[in-house]
Structure 1
């Protein structure tokens, strides 16, 4: 009996020891599993915290960008308003500028028309002079120079050498010139006397200046006698200072001894018209 009891106790103790080890193993396994879960959770938590920090930084950046965009949008709206005002003002100014340009263009057109009309009258004047005076005489030249009609008369057909007395041939030619000038009341005539470079030595006059002026005055007086109003006549002497060719031969000196009659629009009236139109253009 006693042996049996001891055997039972030993068996019970051995059984208890076996159960405790198994439970411990299970607990140890559970503890490991729990630790693994904790480690995993910690990793995930750290990852989430990192993502959160990144997201917050991104959110702050987006908020800053949104603020910039709002400011930019406000500036654009204001700029658009300013541009609208400027555009409206610019459109008004452009319209005024266009109107001004139209007025200037009209005035320029009128000036051009006046110049064209002058050119037409000049051409008609040349035609009349060539018809009246004739163009077959080599000592008489009728042409246009810088918009001015002129008749160039050789010294041979008007004056004797060193003289300012008009020849009968010159009176005949001047009679035809006077007819044309009288038919153009808006024109006047300027007579230019030209000499060669040989010094004047007759004694009646001082020099070639005197001679050229006397010749121009003689022709002016003849035109006046032929009915041309003296208010439309101008006498000018150029002496030997505007030669056509060098005064180095008798033939060339003969060419330079000449008288030019310039038939041109009344200078005062013509330039007054131009000046008024230009002032009107500048005032636009």
Structure 2
């Protein structure tokens, strides 16, 4: 009887324990399913947020592209200042170039055109210093700078024989140095002026008169600059002044020698300068 009671009690305990474990299992299973459901929902929300963020990024990129496009358009938009057409980009490049110019010279610039001339003149002067006049030529080559126009006067004896327009071969070295100066600054025009003394041309000469001689001498120099030393012909201007712009009286041998000369006038070309700015 005692054994029967003990077995009954033991079975009850076992059954009670089995019932508790199953309940706990069902509870845990429910929590697991809830967690999975929550995770799935969170994943879906994450994907929706990522999709919204991608759209926002796309809109921001589009706005930035529009802003950049408008900025580029504004920078390259041509504007007119003092009858000179220039873009904002070109103005910035000019500011950087003007930073190299002597402040005292820059203070004299009253217009945009003055500023452009100063930049060209600065670039040219850099190449004139100690590069054109060789030893022994100091008395026969004179360089004058009138604001932004450079005038190089070369005595007749360095270039031509008396009464002739054929360039002396000994002048090639000088003309090569001159070509190097001209080629150093693309934004230039170069006028070569021939000047004679007041003596009349001998009757029967192959030269008609001093007009003819002065022009022939100018074009002779220009041909050498172009053909031998690569100066662009569109930069060159030929001019003959005959005897009508003397530096001194023609009544002495020394005076006539002074008046026989070739003058190289270097002029800034503002249109070319602006084209070069825009190309950089």
Corresponding position: 1:238 with 2:255 = no
How far is the alpha carbon of 1:151 from its aligned partner?
1.0
Q: Deviations over 1:69-94 (max 9, x none)?
A: xxxxxxxxxxxxxxxxxxxxxxxxxx
Q: Is the 8 A contact 1:209 1:239 kept in 2?
A: yes
| Alignment match, 1:141 | 142
| Alpha-carbon distance between aligned partners in 2 of 1:209 and 1:268, rounded to the nearest angstrom | 32
Q: Deviations over 1:124-147 (max 9, x none)?
A: 413412322127521011121353
Secondary structure of residue in 2 paired with 1:240 = coil
| Alignment match, 1:115 | 114
TM-score normalised to structure 2 length: 0.54
How far is the alpha carbon of 1:123 from its aligned partner?
3.8
Q: Is the 8 A contact 1:130 1:142 kept in 2?
A: no
| Alpha-carbon distance between aligned partners in 2 of 1:266 and 1:121, rounded to the nearest angstrom | 9
- RMSD over aligned Cα atoms: 2.8
Relative to structure 1, is the Cα distance of residues 130 and 108 closer, same or farther in structure 2, using a 3 angstrom cutoff?
same
Q: Deviations over 1:153-172 (max 9, x none)?
A: 00010000000111123211
How far is the alpha carbon of 1:114 from its aligned partner?
3.4
Secondary structure of residue in 2 paired with 1:133 = coil
Structure with the higher fraction of residues in helix conformation: 1
How far is the alpha carbon of 1:221 from its aligned partner?
0.2
Q: Is the 8 A contact 2:127 2:184 kept in 1?
A: no
Secondary structure of residue in 2 paired with 1:162 = coil
Q: Deviations over 1:49-106 (max 9, x none)?
A: xxxxxxxxxxxxxxxxxxxxxxxxxxxxxxxxxxxxxxxxxxxxxxxxxxxxxxxxx7
TM-score normalised to structure 1 length: 0.53
**Unaligned stretches of 5+ in structure 1?**
1-105, 271-284
How far is the alpha carbon of 1:261 from its aligned partner?
0.8
| Alpha-carbon distance between aligned partners in 2 of 1:236 and 1:248, rounded to the nearest angstrom | 25
> Larger Rg: 1 or 2?
1
Alignment size in residue pairs: 168
